[in-house]
């Protein structure tokens, strides 16, 4: 598997808009508009998200009975996981599968693909494999990926 770089760091929070305000006030970080999206796990999961230009992504569940909701209830706000950019996501998924590690979800938007893995396999943090050919969402914004 060819890992290109750490792509993003995910922070779980209770409310994205309030956390954006807090990190802007305390650290001077600016974030994209808050978007509402859906991730495919065993069932569709609704999530709120915002992304900084430095690759820090804030996430908040919109439902208690979801992967994100359960994580927040069990662990509280904080580090959720990391995204690593890979050269060939299908090959990376195949290589992990051969090692007994299976994905739990997938998100696709045009030429942007993510595959999600349980934290038990990676030292306690969710790992997301990411492949894209468009500019990074932190540089162009999530809405530009949908075009």
| Cβ atoms < 10 Å from Cβ of 139 | 11
pLDDT at 14 over 70: yes
Q: State residue 90's pLDDT score.
A: 96
Q: What is the pLDDT of residues 91-139, one digit of tens each?
A: 999 999 999 999 998 888 778 899 999 999 998 889 999 998 876 666 6
Strand bridging mode 35-40 / 44-51:
antiparallel
Q: What is the pLDDT of residues 47-94, one digit of tens each?
A: 888 989 888 999 999 888 888 898 899 999 999 999 999 999 999 999
- CA dist., res. 94 & res. 32, Å (int): 33
Fold of 3-145: 2,3-Dihydroxybiphenyl 1,2-Dioxygenase; domain 1 (3.10.180)
pTM: 0.82
């Amino acid at each position: 598997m060819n890992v290109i770089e750490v792509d993003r760091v995910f922070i779980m929070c209770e409310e994205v808009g309030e956390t954006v305000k807090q990190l802007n006030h305390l650290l001077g970080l600016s974030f994209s508009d808050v978007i509402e999206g859906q991730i495919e796990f065993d069932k569709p999961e609704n999530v709120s998200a915002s992304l900084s230009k430095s690759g820090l992504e804030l996430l908040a569940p919109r439902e208690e009975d979801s992967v994100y909701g359960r994580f927040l209830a069990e662990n509280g706000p904080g580090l959720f996981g990391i995204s690593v950019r890979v050269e060939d996501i299908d090959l990376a998924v195949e290589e992990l599968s051969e090692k007994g590690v299976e994905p739990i979800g997938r998100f696709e938007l045009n030429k942007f693909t993510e595959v999600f893995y349980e934290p038990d396999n990676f030292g306690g943090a969710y790992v997301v494999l990411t492949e894209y050919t468009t500019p990074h969402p932190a540089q162009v914004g999530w809405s530009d990926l949908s075009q």
